[in-house]
Structures are given as C-alpha cells and as structure tokens.
Amino acid sequence: MSKLIAFLALPFVLACAIPPREAKAELKVGTVDMSKVFQDYFKTKEAEARMNESRLSAKKEMDDRLEARNKVLEDINALNRDMEKPELSAGAREQKGKQRDDKIAEVRNLEREITEFKTTRERHLQEMATRMRNAIVEDIMQVVSERVKAGGYELVFDKSGQSLSSVPVILFSKEAFDFTTDAVATLNKAKPIAPKADARPGGTPKK
C-alpha cells in the first residue's frame, strides 16, 4: 500500500449510536474493510497521483535552488584560489576579496531561501494531503451511513482496525455481514469514464 493510502486509511470503528430502547434478541451487525475501501476508491488513486506530482514539482524546485547555491560556492572557491596566486597584485586581490564577500552574502541568502522554501512546501503538502483525506473520508462515511440506514444496521465495525497489541479488532465475522464490496462499487459509480481512443491511425479520442 502506498504512503498516501497508508496515511489516508486510518483505522475506524464505526458504531452507530441508537437511543435506549427495549433490548432485542439480536443486533444487526455489519463489517466493512475501511483500508480496502480507501485503497479501491478512485478518488484515493487520484489524490495519490496529485500528491506525487506535487512532490516531484517541489523536488525540482528544491534541486534548482541547491544547484544555484552550489554554483555560487564554486565561484567562491575559484576566487579563493585566485587570491592565493602570488603573482596577483594587491589591488586585484582586494577586488577579488570584495567579489568573494558578495558571493558569500549571496550564498547565505540562498540558504535562507532554501530553508524557508522547504518549510513552506512541506506544510503545503501536509495541508493538501489532509484536505484530500478529509474529502475522501466524508465521501466514504456518507456511503456507509446510507447503507447503515437502508439495511437497519445497529453496529458497524471496521475489519481493518487493529488493537494496541497489533491484533485485529475483529477476529472473525461472517461474510454475509460485510458490505465492503458494495461500498466500493457505490463510491466508484461516480468515476468519470475515460474517452476511448480512435482505432484509426492518428485518430483522436472519441468524445
């Protein structure tokens, strides 16, 4: 499972609260594998793709900044080597010293920008992942809630949840209790249909 899905698929225990009433002989209990629902929901895959794209974009920007800083460091080293040449006049050495000082100041500014960029971009990516996760949670919970109401369930448990000792919370449940597949199918009904490509050479996708 990808890092994004692992981040999104937090364990849930879904308990539908019901008001006090006369005790029943049996409770209608359901189960759903929230981890699988997250993994198979098309919006999770879309969110993962957008996150990967944003991470790659951030990495490229960071690499460009690091490359610029390294270039200035190379200039500083070159100036240091020039200043060590015995044939260099005092005036020329002084001029190169000023150039080196300017380069050092430039490196410091670049390093400050790099630090600020890294902090800002990491926060942006975290907020982006949280927003997408919350939207996906809302979609899934709506589908689960509708299924609970339609089926008259009184308790619904997450099959993928684990206890503090890393033991599955649900040790056993009948398949008849589970509606994971139905939840995924309902969620994926809204998936856009990809246009079919024209089979003819040079054809464009059909609308």
* pLDDT tens track for 142-195: 999 999 998 888 888 888 877 777 777 776 777 778 899 999 999 999 888 877
Evaluate whether residue 94 is within a structural domain: yes
Evaluate whether residue 53 is within a structural domain: yes
For residue 166, what pLDDT is reported? 76
Evaluate whether residue 17 is within a structural domain: yes
d(CA 65, CA 202): 41
Evaluate whether residue 206 is within a structural domain: no
Evaluate whether residue 207 is within a structural domain: no
Which pLDDT tens digit goes with each residue over 8-22?
444 444 444 445 455
The average confidence (pLDDT) of the chain is 84
Evaluate whether residue 143 is within a structural domain: yes
d(CA 82, CA 97): 10
List of residues 6+ apart from 162 with CB closer than 8 A? 11, 168, 169
Which pLDDT tens digit goes with each residue over 94-115?
999 999 999 999 999 999 999 9
Element (H, E) at 196: none
Q: Domain range spanning residue 54? A: 3-190
Evaluate whether residue 119 is within a structural domain: yes
Evaluate whether residue 204 is within a structural domain: no
For residue 200, what pLDDT is reported? 60
pLDDT band, residue 204 (cuts 50/70/90): low
For residue 28, what pLDDT is reported? 87
Residues of the chain above pLDDT 90, percent: 57
Q: How many domains does the chain have?
A: 1
d(CA 119, CA 128): 14
Which pLDDT tens digit goes with each residue over 55-81?
999 999 999 999 999 999 999 999 999
Q: What is the pTM of this model?
A: 0.69
For residue 118, what pLDDT is reported? 95
d(CA 127, CA 172): 37
For residue 55, what pLDDT is reported? 96
For residue 174, what pLDDT is reported? 77
